Amino acid sequence: MKISFTFVIAALSLLSIPALAADAQTVDEQKSYRVGIYLLNVGKIDLHTSSYDLDFYMWVYSEEDDFTKSKPKIEFMNGKATIEPITVEPHYYEARVKGTFLNNLDFHQYPFEQIHLTVEIEGLDEHQSLVLMADPDESGIDKLISIPGWNLVEMTQDILIHDYPDGKEYSRYVFTMTIERFFLSSFLKTLLPIIIITTIAMLAFWMSPANFAPRIGLGASTLLAAVAAHLNAANQLPPVGYLTLLDKIMIIAYALFLNNLLSMVIQMRYVDHDMKDKAVQINARMRKFMPIIVIVIFFSLLII
């Protein structure tokens, strides 16, 4: 019995040796690339197509690969670019890259939105064979970069594992530059005209109900101006399927215009029936109703 037990243990040990050897071989065969990017220039940013032109240095460092024999096994996943090698050494590869890249831009907070300009690099071999790592020490953004109308917020680097429907996983390096619009410039160009137009329209509440023609003319003309301003601002964006911050503000403005025009029509009927005092009461009541409209719609839109 003792001999049989010893024999079983020995047999199990022999069976486990190939598995351990295979695991050790897999670990030994796994390569690592240290990737870095130094951004030089930002060209045209096309909001309609969510594309942007970038010019940057890219480098790859690896102890396992000889880049004088073959290029780094990586590719750009969110754009097309021309690559001009600058330095090619056995374990170091550096190139200048110019290309057009794409990313799903978020316009929920337009005209005060932040957008993320990314460069996504993925290994050609699976994650078990090739791992990408970020180089935080040398990567960055040139201090001379200036993007008209935009302010630089931050630069980040991330390493992700991207999986595909066939079950394969690949290591991905993501370089992200976050930019935002200048608040004062966006406010003056986009929101201030709408605020002024809406305020002018609301002045009709302080006019006599008997002056129906001037009041209705004021309300209708300012409504058309508000719609034109809204369309002009919205045309700067692609056809998104959600409400932006500007859209929500315009919904409040349109509600005020509706309240204004509806009040005028009711007052006109009372004036036509020689009930001017009643018309004055309706005018005062609808004027006091304006802040309630703003508050109710504002909190309703917060839920959306």
Cis peptide before 111 (omega within 30 of 0): yes
Pairing of strands 74-76, 114-123: antiparallel
Mean pLDDT of the chain: 86
pLDDT of res. 279: 80
Residue 228 has pLDDT above 50, yes or no: yes
pLDDT of res. 10: 42
Binned at pLDDT 50, 70 and 90, residue 304 comes out as low
* Spatial separation of the C-alpha atoms in residues 233 and 237, rounded to whole Å: 8
Could you give all domains of the chain from N- to C-terminal order, each with its CATH number? Answer: 30-181 (2.70.170.10), 185-303 (1.20.58.390)
pLDDT of res. 18: 45
Contact 222, 205 (CB under 8 A): no
Residue 226 has pLDDT above 60, yes or no: yes
Binned at pLDDT 50, 70 and 90, residue 176 comes out as very high
Helix (H) or strand (E) holding 79, with range, is strand 79-89
pTM of the model: 0.80
- Least confident piece of the model among 10-19, 218-227, 291-300: 10-19
Residue 250 has pLDDT above 50, yes or no: yes
Residue 265 has pLDDT above 50, yes or no: yes
Which residue is listed with tokens 């004062």?
A: 184
Residue 22 has pLDDT above 60, yes or no: no
